[in-house]
Structure 1
Amino acid sequence: MKKFNESLGGNPLRKHVYKEIEKAILDGVFEPGYSLTEGKLSAELGVSRTPVREALMQLELEGLVKNIPNKGAVVVGVTSQDIDDIYTIRTRIEGLAARRCAQNIGDDELEELRQVVELQEYFVTKQDFLQVWHLDSRFHEMIYDACRSRPLKQILSLFHNYIQKAREYSVKSGRAQASAQEHRAILDAIENHDLEGAEKAMALHVNNARDAFFEYM
């Protein structure tokens, strides 16, 4: 993990520390069952114990760690059941975000969404799966923004973050080309302001990604 400048102080420092520990958990650096000690994390991050303690409290609220007597904060992480549940929920509500996006997206946003899909298709031909993965994230983030629903965006952004490794595995499973084609179908529906078509195309895309992940694992 990277070190932070204690002079940042206040909320920025707490936020940076929290995101860094969260990323280590979601990336599998800290595996389920691993004990997180304030002293060791403070030394690794170059900060006092206070922002580390606050970060661990936030992570416990989100269910990524659990406070156990005599052991402290123990990593729970994201289980296979969590991933299954998240994909199931996304199948239900991300289609709604795509529907709202088809209804509300602006011309500039639509042009940027087209560019993202075109770039993803290009990098699929180059078999540059890291770029494909990054563009996949950007595609979904843009739809969350354009749906014009703050609650939807907050929920879906959190879920998308929690299953970032699952999404990476899904791309590595050989689904990159299929994913790009599904993004194209979603884009086509959004361009035509086809609300029902966008919702159905997105639900199919999320469901296919879920199936690919569990087959890969």
Structure 2
Amino acid sequence: MKTNMNKRQYAYKVIRTRIVDGTYAPGQRIIINQIAKEVGSSHIPVREAIHQLESEKLLEFKPNIGAIVKGIDNQLYKESLEVLALLEGYATAISATSITADGITKLKEINREMKIMLDNYELDKLGALNREFHFHIYSFCPNELLIKNIEETWGRLDIVRQAGFTFYPKRTPQSIEEHETLIQLLEDKASSSSIEQYARNHKLKTLDAFKMRS
């Protein structure tokens, strides 16, 4: 039997997944009654899930309408990348102190797969592999709150990524090359400051590419 908290989490997962995969389009209203029936709960857990998604900037409240899916917001995207640059730089640096040899081997495998996908122009798989690459590093991060904040910020970017706004032909191969350098820094046990700076700049270069395109 689901507790109220579990029902809220389930409703949150259902709504968020549909936003990210495009089932719920920007501007679409979230019908509380419908979601409550689907997840088998009262309105309360669904409302709580909606409030959480509003705080994550995936939904917004419109008077006389209710919660709707937020549209693509270039300013929010830019600000989120700036925040990620700081968070991911630090997370990568502190993950470096505990990453294992097997962990580094896995990073090399993921990056090789990214090269193959780029060569084959299988662009739909590149985003997932890029996420896997970075979050594999963060799996060695001891700060759970930091990772939660990174996950939430990535979530705010998922709608834009889903819409295909974040593939930059020139930036993508550069990003893969930067992964190689980052792997080498981790393998060489470089200083925390140099790893943090490199990881931060890696994200900021994506922001620069977005600014040039937007």
TM (norm. structure 2) is 0.82
Give the structure 2 partner of residue 70 of structure 1. 64
Q: Which residue of 2 aligns with 1:3?
A: none
Of 164, 172, 175, 2:167 maps to 172
Displacement of 1:191 in angstroms is 0.9
What residue ranges of structure 1 are gaps of 5+ in the alignment?
A: 1-7
Q: Deviations over 1:36-64 (max 9, x none)?
A: 22124446x46444343332232234343
User: Matches of 1:164 and 1:46 in 2, distance apart?
Assistant: 23
5+ residue gaps in structure 2?
A: none
Q: What is the one-letter code of the residue matched to 1:163?
A: L
In structure 2, the CA distance between the partners of 1:148 and 1:59, relative to structure 1 (3 Å rule), is: same
**Residues 68-113 of structure 1: CA deviation (Å, up to 9, x unaligned):** 4432223345622211111111222321122112222122222222
Note closer, same or farther for the CA distance 1:58–1:213 as it changes in structure 2 (3 Å cut).
same
Aligned equivalents of 1:101, 1:167: Cα separation in 2? 26
Q: Percent identity?
A: 25
Counterpart code for 2:180: R
2:179 corresponds to 1:183 = yes
- Local SS of the residue matching 2:67: strand
- Closer, same or farther in 2 for the Cα pair 1:167/1:184, shift >3 Å? farther
Change (3 A) 1:163 1:66: closer
> 1:1-20 alignment to 2 at 5 Å?
9-10=2-3, 11-20=5-14
In structure 2, which of residues 143, 151, 155 is the aligned counterpart of residue 157 of structure 1?
151
8 Å contact from structure 1 (residues 101, 190) kept in 2 = no
Secondary structure at the aligned position of 1:36 is classed as: coil
Instruction: Give the secondary structure class of the aligned counterpart of 1:173.
Output: coil
**For the aligned residues, what is the CA RMSD?**
2.6
Q: Which has the higher helix share?
A: 1
Give the TM-score normalised by structure 1. Answer: 0.81
Deviations 1:143-168 (A, max 9, x none): 22223222221111211222124446
